[in-house]
Structure formats: C-alpha cells, structure tokens
Structure 1
Amino acid sequence: MNRVEKSMEKYNQLFGDGVPATYATDPDFQDILSRFIFGEVFCQGNLDDKQRELITLVVLTTSQTLPQLKAHVGAALNVGLTPVEIKEAVYQCAPYIGFPKTLNAIHEVNDVFKTRNIPLPIESQTTVDEDQRFQKGLAVQVEIFGHVIEKMRESAPSNQKHIQDYLSSFCFGDFYTRGGLELKTRELLTLCIISALGGCESQVKSHVQGNLNVGNDKETLISAITHCLPYMGFPRTLNALACINEIIPEN
C-alpha cells in the first residue's frame, strides 16, 4: 500500500468517509498535509492509534488550534478512546499552558460530546482531598524524578518555596494522581505538551528522564515527538529530539 492509499484509509478510519473541505480551495496543500500526516507519520514508530490521538489532542490544545482539536476529539472517540481519557488528556495540559487555554479546549471537547449524546459531567477521577494532595503529589514527583525533588525543595530560596509547594500539590497532586490515564501515559503526554510549547528545553530534559523512570523507552519518546511534528513544526521537534538524545545518547 503506497502512502496515498495509506492516508485515505487512515483518514477514513479517524474521521469517516468524505474529504476535507480544504480540497475545494487548496487541493495541493491538502494533498501534502494528508499524505504526510496520515500516510507517513501515522505509520512511524511504536504507538497505537489511541496513543496518537491522545498526543494530538494535547498538542492541539497547547497550540490552541481549536477547530482541529474539535475534529480530533471526534477522531479520538472513533478509535475507541473513552470520554474520560479524552477529558483527562486535556486536563493534563493545565499546569503547563494555564487555565484559560485549557478551558478553551474543554469547551470544544464538550461541544463534541454533546453532539455525540455523551452525558456531562463525566464521572469524577479525583483521588485526593485537600489534606492529601500535597503529600500524594510529592510522592508522584519522587516516583517520576527520584530524590532530586527533595534536594530541589531544600535548595529553593525562602521567598520561592511556595512555587515548589504549588508544583507538588497542584501539578502533581491535583492532576497526576487522577484516574483515567496511567502514570506512563500522563508523563508521555507532558513531554509532548512542553515540547510543543517551545523554549522549555530544561523541562523537556527533565521529563525525558522522568519518562525513562516510569517505563517509556527511547523508541516510544521518539515516536511520540515524531507524531507531534505535523502539529508543532520542525524547530520544536528537532529541539525535543536533541533533548532526548542528550539524556539518552545513541549507542
């Protein structure tokens, strides 16, 4: 099967029969897009379609390309992702891109859910309460990054210790402890989110190591960043690959 046939088959699997509206106005551009994304990138690496759509959702959320996000929420449902998994992937973006952009994405997700007659709100995935969120978040941090977290907290200036507390209780306590997605998936999605942001190479390197620590190997990381390429472009992709190669050198 050549890449044209592959792209048509994959597009129909994700979005159903029919052709993109852009073919009516910009057929050459749409040909390049479809054949690259669906005929090449979707075939590269060791990810399944569910993983690919979760990655696509968080990268589109990060870049705030909301019409495309809306289309991929439908595609995510079509490949078998649950409403919980979709919502949790979008929620996972909040500590990195902020609440307003995450709320924009949630609005698009909810619109698709309503058209599919998916009841809202979906079931809660909260596993911590106010008394536990800090300690449980800190425990997840240590699980991902090791005891360097304790040293980082100890070395923080007194006027900045609250940021370290927020990192443990909010980013990891409120989000990483939630149900719906396993830890390996959350950490892989986080790598894609901060890679898509650009200018976060220090954090990308930390999360490359974090991914290794929770069981995502280099092949998986390269596959994930490759899948991000059509949505975030070559500069951010090459920067992320450089981070991966620095932390996990080629043999």
Structure 2
Amino acid sequence: MERVEHFAGAEVVEEPGAELAADTRYMAILAALLGCQGTELYREMLPRALEAGLSPVAVKEIVYQAVDYLGLGRVWPFLTATNQVLIQRGVALPLPGQATTTLQDRLPRGAAAQVQIFGPHMADLWQKSTVNRWLAANCFGDYYTRTGLDLAQREMITFVFLAAQGGCEPQLAAHIEGNVRLGNDLVFLRRVVLQCLPYIGYPRSLNALACVDRAAAAQGA
C-alpha cells in the first residue's frame, strides 16, 4: 500500500507534464473506474472527488454518460454506489433533472450534437441503419444534450470509458477526433491517460496512448 499510495497519489499526480486540475483529474478517474469495473475503489474515490470540487450533479452525469459506452448491466452497480455515497453525505435525492430534450425532439437534437462533435458528415448518418438512428436519438439525444457537464467534458469521459474497458480502439480513435474538435487537444488527452494509468493498468494505457500518437502523426503533430 505504501507503493500504491505513493504512485497513484503522489508520483502520477505530480509528474511534470502530466498534471491536471484536481476536479478534471477526479472526473477522469471516476470514468476510468467505471470503465474498468472498479466498483469498490469507486466507492472510496467518490468522496475525494466531491471534496475536490465535483458537484453531485456532475458525478451523476458521469455515471449516466457511461450507460451508452459500458451498457446498463455494468453501470447499474455504480449508480447504486453513487446514490448510497451521496445519501451518506447528506445530499438530497433525486437531484434536479438535467434533460433538455423530449421524446419528440431527441433525434434531431442528437444528430445536431453529433455534427457539433464530429463534423457535418454526421448530419444524415442516422438514416443509414437502426443502430445509427439509436446512436443519434439515444446516445446523443438522450445523454449528450443533458446539462451538468458540457460537451467537451462528456467527450473527455467518453474517451476514458473506451480506453479503460479496452478493445475499443476504433471507437477510441473517433472520439479522439471528437475531443480535439471540442478543444481537448492531444496534449490534454495524453495527460488524461497518464492520470488514469494507475487505475486501468499499463496495457490499456499504452493502447490509448498509441491511438493518441496515431492521431498526432495524422495531424503532423
């Protein structure tokens, strides 16, 4: 534990060129623990995240955002853990609603969010298949349009969900592009991976860094 606490709690946090603001670092760590299914450590880290400045609304939005990338079956225990920790800390539940779409406008609003994140080629992609329609209406229309986190924060944690669960390198590459379009540059994404490394391990971190490096090479960076 001496080595674990030194590495995860000091060495990585203070590494020159890898630093992140505390609230951003904890946002990434919570997303990483969701992605790698670290439920027990999530319970321990959540109070620290709240003390570092993450609001209960932001925390719940991280959990909700994970549903489309990890699946409800893997996210449900984290929703239960989050509610239990918040109640223990005296937070009144349910929190104020953050939805901004209805069942009637979620599809066009979701498609518009896809265009904002990935570019104009996404405008009509929802028409190509059932899954693409669900992506626009459900993934983006139901979740990305919510308040509590902005689009750049949602893309950052999505990047972490994909990196932490592994085996999602094609999707990871697409969301690196989305992150960059929203202002989360490649230097920032490298920092995010480094801060998550103690929680997701070296193989998945190296795979994520390789995807970032390929994006940099494609940009000539």
TM-score range, shorter chain: over 0.9
Moved more, 115-124 or 40-49: 40-49
Query: Deviation digits for residues 220-248 of structure 1, max 9, x if unmatched?
Result: 10011111111111111111111111112
- How far 1:204 moved relative to its partner? 0.6
- How far 1:148 moved relative to its partner? 2.9
Aligned to 1:80: 53
CA contact (8 A) 2:114 2:123 kept: no
2:33 pairs with 1:33: no
Aligned to 1:23: none
- Paired residues for 1:1-251 under 5 Å: 30-44=1-15, 45-150=18-123, 152-153=125-126, 156=128, 161-249=129-217, 251=221
Q: Hey, what's the Cα distance between the residues in 2 that align with 1:179 and 1:212?
A: 21
Aligned residues: 217
What is the aligned-residue identity percentage?
Answer: 35
- How far 1:151 moved relative to its partner? 6.6
Q: Hey, what's the Cα distance between the residues in 2 that align with 1:248 and 1:213?
A: 14
Q: Hey, what's the Cα distance between the residues in 1 that align with 2:60 and 2:126?
A: 31
Query: Deviation digits for residues 139-172 of structure 1, max 9, x if unmatched?
Result: 0111111123247446x4xxxx110000001111
Q: Hey, what's the Cα distance between the residues in 2 that align with 1:130 and 1:151?
A: 19
Matching residue's letter, 1:116: R
Q: Hey, what's the Cα distance between the residues in 1 that align with 2:73 and 2:172?
A: 23
Q: Normalising by structure 1, report the TM-score.
A: 0.83
Q: Hey, what's the Cα distance between the residues in 2 that align with 1:42 and 1:170?
A: 35
Matching residue's letter, 1:210: G
Aligned to 2:20, the other structure's residue is in SS state coil
Moved more, 200-209 or 144-153: 144-153
Aligned to 2:201, the other structure's residue is in SS state helix
Aligned to 1:125, the other structure's residue is in SS state coil
Q: Hey, what's the Cα distance between the residues in 2 that align with 1:74 and 1:215?
A: 29
Task: Give structure 1 stretches of 5+ with no counterpart.
Answer: 1-29
Aligned to 1:72, the other structure's residue is in SS state helix
CA contact (8 A) 1:183 1:214 kept: yes
Task: Give structure 2 stretches of 5+ with no counterpart.
Answer: none
Matching residue's letter, 1:35: H
- How far 1:101 moved relative to its partner? 1.6
Q: Hey, what's the Cα distance between the residues in 2 that align with 1:234 and 1:173?
A: 34
- How far 1:46 moved relative to its partner? 4.1
Over the aligned positions, Cα root-mean-square deviation in angstroms equals 1.3
Q: Hey, what's the Cα distance between the residues in 2 that align with 1:141 and 1:61?
A: 23
CA radius of gyration, larger in: 1
Larger relative CO (CA 8 A, sep 6+): 1 or 2?
2
